[in-house]
Amino acid sequence: MSTSSQLPVGLAPPERMPKIARVQPYLIGYGACISIISPSISCYQLCKLYNRKIPPSQLLRTSLMIFPHQTLLKVAQMNMSTPVKEYLNPWAAFAAVGVLQGVVYGQANVHFTRAFKFVSPVPTLTVAAVFRGSGFAGFRDMISQGAPFVLSGSVRESVFEPVLGKDSEVAKWSAVISTSVAATVASQGMHNAQITMQADQSLNYSETVKNLWKKNGVATLWKGAEARVGLLLVVNLLNELLLKPAWEGD
């Protein structure tokens, strides 16, 4: 199916354009939609891990300051991940998405840590800083986005269609939502480890795990998951609406 056939008449890129140009409206829309809410979610999770309360109005103002940066970084991230999907598979693509997401989350996490002084000394925004915890990030997104992207079709066919009927839209979205929630909660520990490592640049991988476990115990595995469930539901719905047409088009 052509990517341009998914857009309204007048908005679809011409078929003669190279694929990389045709998919840009999808990726720009994808990046902008996610960047409206993602920075605030990142700050909320840092507040949970560091037991801080920030007034919502102040959190939103601080988030809006990095909306353009986050959108550009997200579009760049998905453009760089697309060739991985083309030549390998979606699992590898989402692992790459996770590592590159370190730049997106990293810029936000360093921004908020500096603004609200979650740790002392405050971190510096460098290339090395935003890639900290990339190992955690790769596994996180392979689970949180890769599993719903790859498995939601099978879940729909085996669990929801026998009850709701074949080709049911309710069955389709029920599968996307249920796999998204399960995968997000399953990957929350990895996410907490990555954002902690970005906020506190004195920690290495093993020290990050020890630090989190000392402060939060077994709750490290799910603390803040409610925020990511909301975000990942949006992300995985956008995967269905925008990313699949971009990645699966001719």
Side chain identity, residue 238: L
**Statement: the pTM of the whole predicted model exceeds 0.85:** no
Chain-centre distance for alpha carbon 105: 9
**Tokens at residue 65, please?**
């300051």
Per-residue pLDDT tens digits for 14-73: 555 667 787 888 888 888 988 988 899 889 989 988 889 999 899 999 999 999 999 998
Per-residue pLDDT tens digits for 101-121: 777 888 898 899 999 999 888
Instruction: Find the angle CA(155)-CA(156)-CA(157) to the nearest 5 degrees.
Output: 95
